[in-house]
Chains A and B, each alone.
Chain A
Amino acid sequence: MMPFDLVIVGAGPAGLRAAVEAAAGGLSVMLVDEGREPGGQIYRGSESGAFAGTAKLGPDYAAGAVLAAAFRASGVQALFGATVIQIEREADGSFCVSVATGHDKAVVIRAKVVIAATGAQERPFPIDGWTLPGVMTAGAAQTMLKADGVVPDGPVVLAGTGPLLYLLAAQYAALGVAIDTLLDTAAPGNWRRALRHVPGFLASRYAFKGLGLLCKALAATRIIRGVEAVAAIGDTRLSAVAYRKGATERTIPAHVLLLHHGVVPQINLTWSAGAQHRWNAARLAFEPVRDASGQTDVPGLFIAGDSGGIGGAQAAEAEGALAAFGVLRMLRGTAGDDDRTERQWRRRLAVSLRGRAFLDALYAPRQSHLSPPDDVIVCRCEEVTAGDIRKAVRRGAMGPNQVKAFTRAGMGPCQSRMCGLTTVAIIAAETGQSPSDIGHMRLRAPVKPVTVAQIASLSDTGERSAVD
Chain B
Amino acid sequence: MFRRLVEPAGHVTVTIDGRPFSVAAGETLSTAMLLAGFAGLRRSARLGRERGPFCGMGVCFDCLVTIDGAANRQACLVRVRDGMAVQTGTRLAALADTVPE
Contacts and interface: CB of A to CB of B under 8 A. Distances in A.
Given A148-B24, A380-B62, A153 B2 contact: yes
Given A36-B79, A133-B40, A237-B50, A417 B59 contact: yes
A103 B77 CA distance: 13
Interface string B48-70: 01111111111111101000001
A393 to B, nearest CB: 21
Interface string B1-14: 11111100000000
A151 B31 contact: no
A140 B30 CA distance: 10
Interface in A123-166: 131-137, 139-141, 143-145, 147-154
Given A36-B79, A136-B56, A152-B2, A147 B31 contact: yes
21 contacts: A34-B58, A51-B6, A131-B62, A132-B50, A136-B52, A140-B55, A143-B56, A144-B2, A148-B4, A149-B5, A150-B5, A151-B3, A266-B59, A381-B45, A383-B49, A413-B64, A413-B72, A414-B61, A417-B60, A418-B59, A449-B72
B19 interface: no
B52 A383 contact: no
A144 B39 contact: no
Contacts of A149: 4-6
A307 to B, nearest CB: 13
Interface of B: 1-6, 24, 26-28, 31, 34-35, 39-41, 44-47, 49-62, 64, 70, 72, 76-77, 79
Dominant SS at the B interface?
Answer: loop
A131 B51 contact: yes
Contacts of B24: 148
Interface string A24-54: 0000000000111000010000001011000
Contacts of A132: 50, 52
Contacts of A414: 59-61
Contacts of A153: 1-3
A140 B59 contact: no
A149 B61 CA distance: 23
A151 B61 CA distance: 21
B90 to A, nearest CB: 13
A438 to B, nearest CB: 22
Nearest to A381: B61
A151 B31 CA distance: 10
Contact of B1 (A36, A103, A147, A255): A255
Contacts of A177: 5
Interface string A219-246: 0000000000000000011000000000
B31 A380 contact: no
A412 B61 contact: yes
A146 B44 CA distance: 29
Contacts of A382: 45-46
